[in-house]
């Protein structure tokens, strides 16, 4: 032991306090265990400070801007002068100027001790935490729950690393909207942020390397969202490979023989799991692995549990929290069902929202299922027609015809994230399609389009 090394005993260490770790630490402490939470950044993780919360605090006002622009076709002349300072102020207020006391205090109140610094596993049940040359060794009686989450993926594009580009971290602190913005990455974050900044006045170019945006979702959904964004003036380019980036006060991106100039570049091309340099080799795990394998009770090894994005089961706050509940039960020795990921739902808070659950048609075919699909347009429904501008959308359902149950579904619609709820129940509960076809669908709702899609299953 060095002069700056101290040793502490406890029951459980939560290494990385993202949404899952925060929940688990509190629940374990409330159950009477001596819990230490270790974080090198802000306790609470990506979601409240640079992810879900601030991005949705941008989405809501940007949707409002779009609604006002639609008003003249429905209600009369309405004008709006979008003011980003209101958005920036609300984000700053929501996360207390990027201070984590709102997360730390309830944890400490429950009895959790917080240790700041970079933590590494040091054999089963032990964690070493380094901060400013001082080391704290944490020895546990029960074990360690790892929840180290992700950081932005930085694509290996020539010149990019030498430029002051934004990731989601900088984007959530923006105080002024740039005139010309290039968004690199047409996944959920790129789609949401391209929409937001365009509606607040930026000329946005959205570049996606795959052949469509929202490439992980049904092709019909990505194609529809690209069309809607183009109609709003966003220059959406799929199949766009950026060869080089330069910066001389402005950004210059070489893309397919053309040079795109921009005032700012936002790179949201995915996430990288924080698994390097956390001592996985000391507990018999592969330090090069991209994810930590967990069983149904979130066990990853001897006295070791893992939850959240690092498990590769869905990089969402609701998955992290769901897994945390399972890990807590296991650590406390309670019986419980194993984790089930068959009906994980996902929502892109675009406008209209893209929401999906379970398998896409292609994933179902690749799994060897006997597949039938049904597709219906939201704008052809009574509610779609009544709603008017801003209604374009679809519902696609994927059935395992052998079992007669839905294994996946996609909704693009206003409030799509809410509409998908009943489809999550259908997939999770394996409700027979024959039952879904004979239930009541309130008139005139957006979810009635589900009935139309079910009728078209073929």
Ligand X SMILES: Cc1cc2nc3c(=O)[nH]c(=O)nc-3n(C[C@H](O)[C@H](O)[C@H](O)COP(=O)(O)OP(=O)(O)OC[C@H]3O[C@@H](n4cnc5c(N)ncnc54)[C@H](O)[C@@H]3O)c2cc1C
CB of 425 to ligand X, least distance (A): 19
Residue 119 or 178 having the CB closest to ligand X: 119
Contact between 354 and ligand X by CB under 6 A: the answer reads no
What are the percentages of helix, strand and coil residues in the chain, rounded to 5?
35, 30, 40
Q: Are the C-beta atoms of residues 211 and 404 closer than 8 Å to each other?
A: no
Q: What is the size of the binding site for ligand X (CB under 6 A)?
A: 35
Give the x/- contact pattern for ligand X in 277-316, rule: CB under 6 A: -x-----------------------------xxx----xx
Nearest CA-CA partner of 286 in 298, 296, 273, 297: 273
Tokens 């032991």 correspond to 1
Residue 90 or 118 having the CB closest to ligand X: 118
Separation of alpha carbons 358 and 416, rounded Å = 15
Among 10, 12, 14, 16, binds ligand X (CB under 6 A): 16
Q: Are the C-beta atoms of residues 127 and 135 closer than 8 Å to each other?
A: no
Contact between 126 and ligand X by CB under 6 A: the answer reads no
CB of 286 to ligand X, least distance (A): 17
Residue 353 or 451 having the CB closest to ligand X: 353
CB of 442 to ligand X, least distance (A): 27
Residues in the chain: 458
Residue 384 or 417 having the CB closest to ligand X: 417
Residue 147 or 360 having the CB closest to ligand X: 147
Task: Give the residue nearest to ligand X (CB).
Answer: 149
Sign of CA dihedral 417, 421, 422, 426: positive
Residue 384 or 414 having the CB closest to ligand X: 414
Contact between 100 and ligand X by CB under 6 A: the answer reads no
Nearest CA-CA partner of 179 in 278, 81, 277, 250: 250
CB of 104 to ligand X, least distance (A): 12
Q: What are phi and psi of 292, to 5 degrees?
A: -100, 125
Angle of helix 19-30 relative to helix 317-331, nearest 10 degrees, comes to: 30
135 CB burial (10 A radius; 0-12, 13-18, 19+):
middle
Q: Residue 272 belongs to what H/E stretch? A: strand 271-273
Contact between 136 and ligand X by CB under 6 A: the answer reads no
Q: What are the start-end ranges of the E strands in 16-93?
A: 35-39
Q: What are phi and psi of 457, to 5 degrees?
A: -55, 125
Contact between 323 and ligand X by CB under 6 A: the answer reads no
Among 126, 148, 360, 377, binds ligand X (CB under 6 A): 148
Binding residues among 156-195 for ligand X as defined by CB under 6 A: 168, 189
Separation of alpha carbons 38 and 275, rounded Å = 15
CB of 320 to ligand X, least distance (A): 3
Contact between 39 and ligand X by CB under 6 A: the answer reads yes
**Listed ranges 32-40, 86-94, 280-288, 447-455: which one lies at the site for ligand X (CB under 6 A):** 32-40
Among 55, 136, 205, 381, binds ligand X (CB under 6 A): 55
Angle of helix 84-94 relative to helix 52-71, nearest 10 degrees, comes to: 150
Binding region for ligand X (CB under 6 A): 15-20, 38-42, 45-47, 51-52, 55, 118-119, 147-150, 168, 189, 274, 278, 308-310, 315-318, 320
């Amino acid at each position: 032991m060095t002069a700056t090394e101290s040793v502490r005993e406890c029951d459980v260490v939560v290494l990385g306090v993202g949404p899952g770790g925060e929940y688990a630490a509190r629940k374990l402490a409330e159950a009477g265990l001596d819990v230490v939470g270790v974080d090198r950044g802000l306790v609470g993780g990506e979601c409240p400070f640079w992810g879900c919360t601030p991005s949705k605090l941008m989405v809501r006002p940007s949707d409002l801007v779009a609604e006002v622009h639609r008003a003249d076709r429905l209600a009369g002349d309405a004008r709006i002068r979008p003011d980003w300072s209101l958005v920036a102020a609300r984000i700053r207020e929501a996360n207390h100027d990027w201070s984590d006391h709102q997360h730390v205090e309830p944890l400490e109140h429950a009895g959790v001790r917080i240790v700041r610094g970079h933590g590494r596993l040091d054999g089963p049940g032990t964690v070493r935490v380094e901060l400013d040359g001082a080391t704290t060794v944490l020895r546990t009686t029960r074990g360690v729950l790892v929840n180290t989450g992700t950081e932005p993926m930085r694509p290996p594009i020539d010149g990019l690393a030498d430029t002051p580009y934004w990731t989601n971290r900088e984007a959530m602190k923006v105080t002024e909207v740039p005139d010309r913005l290039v968004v690199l990455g047409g996944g959920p974050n790129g789609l949401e942020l391209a929409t937001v900044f365009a509606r607040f006045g930026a000329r946005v170019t959205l570049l996606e390397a795959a052949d469509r945006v929202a490439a992980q979702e049904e092709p019909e959904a990505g194609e529809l969202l690209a069309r809607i964004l183009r109609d709003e003036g966003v220059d959406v380019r799929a199949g766009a490979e950026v060869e080089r980036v330069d910066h001389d006060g402005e950004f210059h991106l070489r893309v397919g023989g053309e040079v795109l100039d921009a005032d700012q570049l936002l790179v949201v091309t995915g996430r990288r799991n924080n698994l390097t340099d956390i001592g996985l080799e000391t507990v018999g795990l592969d330090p090069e692995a991209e994810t930590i394998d967990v069983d149904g009770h979130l066990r990853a090894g001897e006295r070791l549990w893992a939850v959240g994005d690092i498990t590769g089961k869905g990089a969402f706050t609701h998955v992290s929290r769901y897994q945390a509940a399972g890990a807590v039960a296991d650590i406390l020795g309670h019986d419980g069902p194993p984790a089930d990921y068959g009906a994980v739902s996902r929502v892109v808070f675009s406008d209209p929202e893209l929401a999906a659950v379970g398998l896409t048609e292609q994933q179902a075919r690749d799994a060897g299922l006997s597949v039938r699909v049904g597709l219906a347009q939201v704008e052809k429904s009574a509610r779609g027609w009544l709603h008017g501008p801003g209604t374009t959308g679809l519902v696609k359902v994927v059935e395992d015809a052998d079992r007669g149950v839905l294994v996946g579904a996609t909704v693009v619609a206003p409030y799509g994230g809410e509409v998908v709820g009943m489809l999550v129940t259908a997939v999770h509960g394996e409700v027979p399609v024959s039952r879904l076809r004979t239930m009541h669908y309130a008139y005139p709702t957006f979810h009635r389009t589900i009935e139309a899609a079910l009728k078209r299953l073929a």
